[in-house]
Structure 1
Amino acid sequence: MLSAAAGVCSNVLSAIVPLYVAMIMAYVSVKYLRMFTPDQCAGINKFVSKFSVPLLSFRVISTTNPYKINMKLAMSDLLQKILAFMALLLVAKIMSPRSRFDLVITGVSLSTLPNTLIVGIPLLKALYGAEAAALLAQIVLLQSLVWYNLLLLMFELNSAVAISASSSPQVPG
């Protein structure tokens, strides 16, 4: 029993340590050693956001069959998103009668769309094997095909409503 736990711990560490070591080295090199200028950091961030993450997303999504998604997983994902949306909407209404819908949308995005690509898939593969990583790849597929687009639509609708409300003529009453 103890050797199995040690093996799992070893797998988890071998999956996560390289990522965190790179992140700590990057932080130290920018914050304390001043090896990179803010312009260089912006370039690295742009490279990661425009090339690395989309290519990793493409790799994960292209190997996942959208017609073989686990329906229990999809329904639980849907239920989680609905509950988070309702809870954040309730909190926004309690906090401010004139709640801002964009804060609810951002809250849903932050609370329900985790960083599954970079940390989640290697961690689940190390803990539970390839089958768990395949389930997480299905979540990534659902996020890319459904949730990102729905949140973007909600942001655009919210912006359109805000623009039309600010540009409408005020009729004196």
Structure 2
Amino acid sequence: MMIGVGEIYKVVVAVAPLYTALGLGYGSVRWWHIFTPEQCEAINLLVSYLTLPFFTFEFTIHADPFSMNYQFILADVISKLVIVSILFAWAKCSSKGSYGWSITTFSLSTLTNSLVVGVPMLNAMYGPSAQDLVVQSSIFQAIVWLVLLLFVLEFRKVKIGIPTKPGVVSNQYSHVVSIDISPSSKDTAAAATTNSNDQNTNGVADHEVLIAKPSFCSLMRIIWFKLALNPNSYASIVGITWAFISNRWHFEMPSIMEGSILVMSKAGTGMAMFSMGLFMALQEKLVASGPSLMAFGMVMKFIAGPAAMAIGAIAVGLRGDVLRIAIIQAALPQSITSFIFARDYGLHADVLSTAVIFGMLVSLPVLVAYYFLFGLMS
């Protein structure tokens, strides 16, 4: 059925309030100077540690794990495996290949801001069933893909090497001082470059420097610790656990708890977008990565990601609106968590920052264009 102006207007009406909140956040800092950078940081903490986790938790507890579309989840897995395979082959076989850039490209093309933007947009396009699929995708991303991304980033630090004094080889990776990580063609030899002088800062000669190699268990402890510091991670885990229990034994949450969660959850979307506006206003340059890398990020986000999802969806037999929803949700704006990880690990944070900002700005026309084209083809 061909999509008319009325349907497109309905989508714009559903999403426009998000951009209003984003604009207010941007203007509050850049034009009206209402908030200082310190106050912006406090607002970001409010969003990160309270409103957004409650928003995620509220959607997750109402999911029904026993009626999830596991074919849809499998399509998502296949799409990411396609991208991982291509990136691994490029990093391994090409002279220009880079494991660091492979990680960044994976983030750009696969990790999305599913709930904040995806729920209102897909609900307006295809109804409540689309909203359910977006929630399922968001839960799986938080529990599986973000955990794997964090593991790969920690493993990369181990691969580069952590210099320590003689006799201070420890399995407690979090207690070892990390070297500064700078992108290189293959992300190797960085440790050697760090120790290129005859003496390190503590007066220890190079051949006396040992490389601390934490065990797998130690690595996993660090990862789980970092996830525990992110309330959005365990909001998804606790939420899906409750969803399993409540749907299996038909428990209902007490109304006083439900109301408490809901009153905080309602602030989640608006505050998240407002915080995004603050983030944009505090950047010295909106295009921190330069125009060429910005274009690369947009291609990965809005073309490569949806194309891979189309492959996965068709491979598992998705058809009709479910296929369209799968492709459109893969083109949602960049995950803010992926930028936070990139910043924390010193891996192309400028590229992810630009992707978050411009992905948010151009996502509405791009996703409406996808919606319109699918309407023409149906």
Q: What is aligned with 1:114?
A: 112
Gap change, CA 1:27 and 1:71, over 3 Å in 2: same
Q: What is aligned with 1:67?
A: 66
1:34-73 alignment runs, 5 A limit: 34-73=33-72
What amino acid maps onto 1:103 in structure 2?
W
Q: 2:78 aligned with 1:79, yes or no?
A: yes
Q: What is aligned with 1:9?
A: 8
Unaligned runs of 5+ in 1: none
Gap change, CA 1:53 and 1:12, over 3 Å in 2: same
1:116 Cα deviation from its structure 2 partner: 0.9
The equivalent position to 1:146 in structure 2, one of 144, 149, 158, is 144
What amino acid maps onto 2:17 in structure 1?
P
Structure 1 or 2: more helix by fraction: 1
Q: Percent identity?
A: 34
Q: What is aligned with 2:172?
A: none
Q: Deviations over 1:103-127 (max 9, x none)?
A: 3223212321111111111000011
SS of residue matched to 2:161? helix
CA contact (8 A) 1:116 1:140 kept: yes
Q: What is aligned with 2:24?
A: 25
Gap change, CA 1:160 and 1:68, over 3 Å in 2: farther
SS of residue matched to 1:120? helix
SS of residue matched to 1:114? coil
Name the TM-score, length of structure 1 as normaliser.
0.82
What amino acid maps onto 2:11 in structure 1?
V
1:95 Cα deviation from its structure 2 partner: 6.0
Name the TM-score, length of structure 2 as normaliser.
0.40
SS of residue matched to 1:36? coil
Q: Which has the higher contact order (CA 8 A, sep 6+)?
A: 2
CA contact (8 A) 1:12 1:123 kept: yes
CA contact (8 A) 1:66 1:141 kept: no
CA contact (8 A) 1:64 1:141 kept: no
1:90 Cα deviation from its structure 2 partner: 4.3
Gap change, CA 1:158 and 1:47, over 3 Å in 2: same
How many residues are treated as equivalent by the alignment? 166
SS of residue matched to 1:64? coil
CA contact (8 A) 1:113 1:143 kept: yes
Root-mean-square deviation (CA, aligned residues, Å) is 2.4
What amino acid maps onto 1:96 in structure 2?
K
The equivalent position to 1:135 in structure 2, one of 129, 133, 136, is 133
CA contact (8 A) 1:57 1:117 kept: yes
Matches of 2:149 and 2:128, distance apart in 1: 30
Q: Deviations over 1:127-157 (max 9, x none)?
A: 1000111111111111122111111111222
User: Which protein shows a greater Rg?
Assistant: 2
Q: What is aligned with 1:96?
A: 96
Matches of 1:107 and 1:53, distance apart in 2: 26
Unaligned runs of 5+ in 2: 164-190, 192-208, 212-378
